[in-house]
């Protein structure tokens, strides 16, 4: 910075640390809740410092009975369901967006612009505004309570398609000409040249989409009734309801901890890709 | 090895015609330079021969085949681009081998050809580098190497030296010429630089506004330009023009130069 | 929502620019096969349901769901006269503005300070971006827990200052809670964009202002703020869209729209009336109105791009 007076510098760090504390507080408090036993978690005031029961809580949550009195699926299964859903959504979105961007950029064909506008329209139709009829479609296709139902309706993406379109437009034309002279057909060009050239964009998008997929709760809540299809994120909602009868906050918050570890891990460990992905897709 | 025959070639983009009735026979092993000002249609013509642009009307023959309808890869040509168009994610070796791999040559054969080309071009020690780890001159050589390994009937060059600095350009120009003579492959070379054209080509095709102004050896073009354009475009320093009127009793100067400067011939 | 690339693509499309490579592959059925998956999903799960919603919004089903009657815009007229719906509209506006203001304001201040610590900026960034990775429902759960009237840590402290916290009974407190939870989750996003915008201001501009005698605070207000105003506008639209639609999970977890309907915003009402109340026509009419709102927001954003693209 321009000037570096100690006082301003101290103030700057002070405000930032305050901000970090404010932002991290909810995460901290719920982490602390996951480290105490049930008894302690029913005494006011609740603890602000970690206890010693994290491992107990983890084993009970992951492999034990979980929340007492609940008929839910074991938490490890919910984690697997979440992982499956997040992966299917990310890979699905990336795959179909890559393919349609490739078609739109590298081919000239009748109804090309119609396709463009149809893809664009998806932006204007968030799932929240067409809940009921979309639910009906999924039900009629027999996709309730399945991984397909969880992921496929969410994988159309104008944002991702337009991002790849832009990436492809920056690939020099000579790359294609050169490949054509080398005898590469369209799909060969796509796999040998275009995919490797877009791999950081793909990785960045993957980070964002993984989080998008993992954090879905509304859609899974609607279309899964079978407890074996429960995802970890939607189970939190069910546990909150159960908490009104038996407030086992240590277990609920341990589940919450497990539910947020994977996406937070992804964000922190792939921060550069995350920021790139976020600014490229704004989603 | 092959001769190339261009017959009444025309190219239009929509309703604008950018090449008009181009004719030209290129002999086997000849080095032809297409030269002309920027935007005159040189690249378009070259890319039509390569199969990267469709032919609006007319015919292109390479060897004894009509190639109008053939895919670029089926025309047995190789091309060197102005920006080299190397695949950035592949090593030099992979760049050169890519086309051969698609043509399903054996591993041994591919390796042999790549090593040979690398030796000719003195890029043997860079084979495992990525293009971004090379200098401009080295990239240019790799682009040439990629053309050589294919062992094509025709080389096509589109301003391959214009991204190099002046000194390197002169050096590479000589090397390209020597290489072409050594391999004896029919070549078409596009440039807007008339010095490059005059020093490289067996014959020059001068293009202007989509028309072939003249097609001949450098000496013919220099001594007997077919048009004012050719006369003005070639030669360094440029030829001087004196407006004159042909009259029944001989040639007379029409008027003195506007600024009153000396108007006598000097170049 | 509408990203840079989307806006860029849209702009090119509307302006009729070539959105295609100069060279392209020869025509074949291949491109149709390539776009088929995307188009199929779009048709089946987006366009068809949306047109169903539009159609249903013109119908009234009888009480037993046996038959339905085409009533033109009666459902919309009913909504227009429904005080609950109008209240929900107003509530959504207040909710969105407050969420946007709170999260953008916090993010702006934090980014303003973070960009001053050149070396530490990335360190603080790492500590500030996690909430983005927390699912809305989960964010709701965290805040419900902290504000649990009997056990929560905040009500415990609030009691000392004489505040009796119970968001299960007090509508304003419930509203405050969902606003805080929603804003908290969005701070990370806004912070990242503000920080990037500020870091892209050339240092020389700041230095010139310093030489002119402007102190840090003054520079922030007179130089930095105006220069990042495009980002502010962009974030404003993004945050409004977020508050309108993506906060569903938070509300569902924290208050279920209650107490009464104190936190029932429009998206929640569509869901509630459709799934719980089984009022198909009314719910569909609400969906259509929401679609119009999304389109409007997209258009606003697009207008802004057009202005921006000029320089
Ligand atoms: N894809 C295209 N669409 C329309 N016009 C084109 C296209 N490609 C080239 N042209 C036009 O054709 C003419 C010749 O271009 P080109 O062959 O690239 O010239 P140069 O001699 O500089 O290589 C130019 O006027 C150019 O604007
Ligand atoms: Mg050219």
Residues 6+ apart with CB under 8 A from C143: A26, C177, C180, C181, C184, C254
Beta carbons within 10 angstroms of residue B164's beta carbon: 18
Segment C252-265, tens digit of pLDDT: 888 988 788 889 99
Which ligand has the nearest atom to the CA of B38? 1
Residues B138 and B13 both lie in one domain: yes
Contact A177 B88 (CB under 8 A): no
Residues B25 and B92 both lie in one domain: yes
**Model's pTM, two decimal places?**
0.85
Segment A8-51, tens digit of pLDDT: 788 888 888 999 998 888 888 888 888 888 778 777 777 888 88
For residue B225 and ligand 1, the question of a CB distance below 6 A is answered with no
What's the whole-number mean pLDDT along residues B121-137? 93
Most confident of A183-197, C2-16, C232-246, C293-307: A183-197
Ligand 1 atom showing the smallest separation from residue B14 Cα: 4
**Using CA atoms, how far apart are residues A8 and C32, in angstroms rounded to an integer?**
61
Strands B154-158 and B57-62: unpaired
Segment B165-205, tens digit of pLDDT: 888 899 999 999 999 999 999 999 999 998 899 999 999 99
Residues B66 and B123 both lie in one domain: yes
Indicate if the pLDDT at residue B257 is higher than 80. no
**Average of per-residue pLDDT values in chain A:** 85
Alpha-carbon torsion (A59, A62, A67, A73), positive or negative? negative
Indicate if the pLDDT at residue A7 is higher than 80. no
**CATH number of the domain enclosing B100:** 3.40.50.300
Kindly give the distance from the C-alpha atom of residue C46 to the centroid of ligand 1, in angstroms, as a whole number.
42
Residues B15 and B38 both lie in one domain: yes
pLDDT of residue B75: 92
Percent of chain B whose pLDDT exceeds 90: 72
Segment C234-243, tens digit of pLDDT: 888 889 888 9
The ipTM, to two decimals, is: 0.85
Alpha-carbon torsion (C75, C76, C79, C81), positive or negative? negative
Indicate if the pLDDT at residue C70 is higher than 90. no
Residue ranges making up the domain that contains B264: 242-267
Residues of C within 8 A of A281 (CB-CB) are 3, 5
pLDDT of residue C310: 36
Total count of domains within chain B: 2
The protein residue with its alpha carbon nearest to ligand 1, atom 20, reads: B39
Q: Which domains does chain A have, with CATH numbers?
A: 75-279 (1.10.3720.10)
Burial B118-154 (b: 16+ CB within 10 A, else e): bebbebeebbeebbeebeebbbbbbbbbbbbbbebbb
Kindly give the distance from the C-alpha atom of residue B13 to the centroid of ligand 1, in angstroms, as a whole number.
9
Contact A256 C142 (CB under 8 A): yes
Which of A209-213, B186-190, C201-205 has the lowest average pLDDT? C201-205
Segment A56-98, tens digit of pLDDT: 888 888 877 666 556 677 888 889 999 999 999 999 999 999 9
Q: Are A231 and C138 in contact (CB under 8 A)?
A: no
Delimit the domains of chain C by residue range.
79-310
Residues B209 and B266 both lie in one domain: no
Segment B47-78, tens digit of pLDDT: 999 999 999 999 999 998 999 999 899 999 99
pLDDT of residue C19: 56
- Best residue in C5, C139, C188, C203 for a mutation probing chain A (most A CBs within 10 Å): C5
pLDDT of residue C298: 77
Which of A6-20, A243-257, B130-144, C51-65 has the lowest average pLDDT? C51-65
Alpha-carbon torsion (C247, C250, C251, C256), positive or negative? positive
Beta carbons within 10 angstroms of residue C126's beta carbon: 13
pLDDT of residue C311: 32
Beta carbons within 10 angstroms of residue A23's beta carbon: 22
Residues of C within 8 A of A24 (CB-CB) are 127, 130
The kind and range of the H/E element at B77 are strand B77-80
What's the whole-number mean pLDDT along residues C212-235? 85
Nearest CA of chain B to the CA of A115: how many Å? 24
Specify the CATH number for C79-310; select among 1.10.3720.10, 3.30.1330.30, 3.40.1030.10, 1.10.390.10.
Answer: 1.10.3720.10
Ligand 1 atom showing the smallest separation from residue B38 Cα: 22
What's the whole-number mean pLDDT along residues C128-152? 88
What's the whole-number mean pLDDT along residues A213-225? 87
Indicate if the pLDDT at residue A268 is higher than 90. no
Segment A167-176, tens digit of pLDDT: 898 899 899 9
pLDDT of residue B252: 62
């Amino acid at each position: 910075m321009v000037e570096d007076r100690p006082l301003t510098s101290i103030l700057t760090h002070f405000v930032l640390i305050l901000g970090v504390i404010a932002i991290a507080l909810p995460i901290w408090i719920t982490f602390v809740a996951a480290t105490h036993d049930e008894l302690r978690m029913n005494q006011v005031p609740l603890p602000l410092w970690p206890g010693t029961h994290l491992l107990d809580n983890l084993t009970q949550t992951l492999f034990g009975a979980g929340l007492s009195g609940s008929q839910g699926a074991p938490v490890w299964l919910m984690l697997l369901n979440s992982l499956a859903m997040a992966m299917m959504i990310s890979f699905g979105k990336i795959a179909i967006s890559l393919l349609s961007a490739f078609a739109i950029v590298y081919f000239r064909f009748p109804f090309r612009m119609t396709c463009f506008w149809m893809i664009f329209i998806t932006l204007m139709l968030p799932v929240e505004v067409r809940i009921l009829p979309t639910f009906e479609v999924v039900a009629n296709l027999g996709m309730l309570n399945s991984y397909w139902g969880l992921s496929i309706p969410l994988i159309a993406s104008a944002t991702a398609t337009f991002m790849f379109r832009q990436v492809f437009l920056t690939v020099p034309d000579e790359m294609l000409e050169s490949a054509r002279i080398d005898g590469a057909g369209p799909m060969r060009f796509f796999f040998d040249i275009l995919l490797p050239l877009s791999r950081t964009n793909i990785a960045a998008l993957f980070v964002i989409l993984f989080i998008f997929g993992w954090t879905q709760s509304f859609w899974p809540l609607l279309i899964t009734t079978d407890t074996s299809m429960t995802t970890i994120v939607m189970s939190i909602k069910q546990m909150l309801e159960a908490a009104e009868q038996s407030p086992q906050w240590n277990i609920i918050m341990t589940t919450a901890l497990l539910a947020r570890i994977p996406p937070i891990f992804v964000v922190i460990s792939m921060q550069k890709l995350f920021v790139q992905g976020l600014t490229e897709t704004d989603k | 090895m092959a001769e190339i025959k261009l017959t009444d070639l025309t190219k239009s983009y929509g309703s604008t015609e950018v090449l008009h009735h181009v004719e030209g026979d290129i002999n086997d092993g000849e080095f032809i330079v297409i030269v002309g000002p920027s935007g005159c249609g040189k690249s378009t013509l070259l890319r039509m021969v390569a199969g990267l642009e469709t032919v609006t009307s007319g015919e292109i023959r390479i060897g004894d085949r009509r190639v109008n309808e053939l895919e670029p890869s089926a025309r047995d040509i190789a091309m060197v681009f102005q920006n080299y168009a190397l695949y950035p994610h592949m090593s030099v070796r992979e760049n050169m081998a890519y086309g051969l791999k698609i043509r399903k040559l054996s591993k041994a054969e591919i390796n042999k050809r790549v090593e040979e080309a690398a030796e000719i071009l003195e890029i043997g020690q860079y084979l495992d580098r990525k293009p971004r780890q090379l200098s401009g001159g080295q990239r240019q050589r790799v682009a040439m190497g990629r053309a050589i390994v294919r062992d094509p009937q025709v080389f096509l060059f589109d301003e391959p030296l214009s991204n190099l600095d002046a000194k390197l350009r002169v050096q590479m120009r000589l090397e390209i010429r020597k290489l072409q003579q050594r391999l004896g492959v029919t070549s078409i070379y596009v440039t807007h630089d008339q010095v490059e054209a005059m020093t490289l080509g067996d014959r020059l095709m001068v293009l202007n506004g989509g028309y072939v102004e003249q097609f001949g050896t450098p000496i013919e073009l220099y001594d007997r330009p077919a048009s004012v354009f050719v006369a003005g475009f070639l030669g360094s320093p440029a030829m001087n023009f004196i407006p004159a009127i042909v009259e029944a009793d001989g040639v007379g100067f029409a008027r003195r130069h506007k600024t009153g400067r000396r108007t006598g011939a000097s170049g | 929502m509408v990203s840079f690339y989307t806006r860029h693509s849209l702009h090119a499309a509307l302006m009729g620019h070539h959105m295609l490579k100069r060279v392209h592959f020869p025509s074949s059925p291949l491109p149709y096969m390539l776009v088929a998956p995307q188009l199929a999903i779009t048709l089946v799960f987006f366009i068809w349901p949306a047109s169903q919603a539009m159609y249903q919004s013109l119908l009234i089903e009888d009480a037993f769901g046996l038959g339905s009657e085409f009533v033109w815009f009666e459902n919309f007229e009913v909504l227009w006269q429904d005080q609950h719906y109008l209240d929900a509209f107003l509530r959504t506006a207040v909710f969105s503005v407050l969420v946007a203001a709170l999260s953008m304001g916090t993010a702006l201040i934090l980014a303003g300070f973070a960009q001053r610590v050149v070396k530490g900026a990335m360190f603080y960034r790492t500590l500030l971006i996690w909430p983005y990775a927390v699912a809305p429902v989960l964010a709701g759960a965290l805040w419900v827990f902290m504000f649990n009237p009997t056990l929560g840590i905040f009500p415990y402290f609030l009691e000392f200052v004489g505040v009796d916290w119970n968001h299960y009974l007090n509508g304003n407190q419930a509203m405050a809670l969902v606003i805080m939870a929603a804003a908290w989750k969005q701070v990370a996003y806004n912070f990242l964009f503000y920080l990037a915008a500020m870091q892209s201001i050339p240092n020389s501009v700041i230095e010139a202002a310093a030489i002119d005698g402007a102190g840090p605070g003054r520079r922030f207000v007179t130089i930095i703020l105006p220069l990042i105003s495009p980002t502010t506008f962009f974030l404003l639209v993004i945050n409004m869209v977020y508050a309108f639609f993506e906060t569903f999970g938070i509300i569902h977890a924290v208050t279920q729209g209650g107490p009464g309907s104190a936190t029932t915003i429009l998206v929640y009402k569509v869901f509630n009336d459709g799934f719980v109340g089984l009022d198909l026509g009314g719910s569909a009419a609400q969906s259509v109105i929401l679609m119009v709102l999304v389109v409007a927001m997209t258009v606003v954003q697009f207008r802004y791009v057009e202005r921006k693209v000029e320089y």
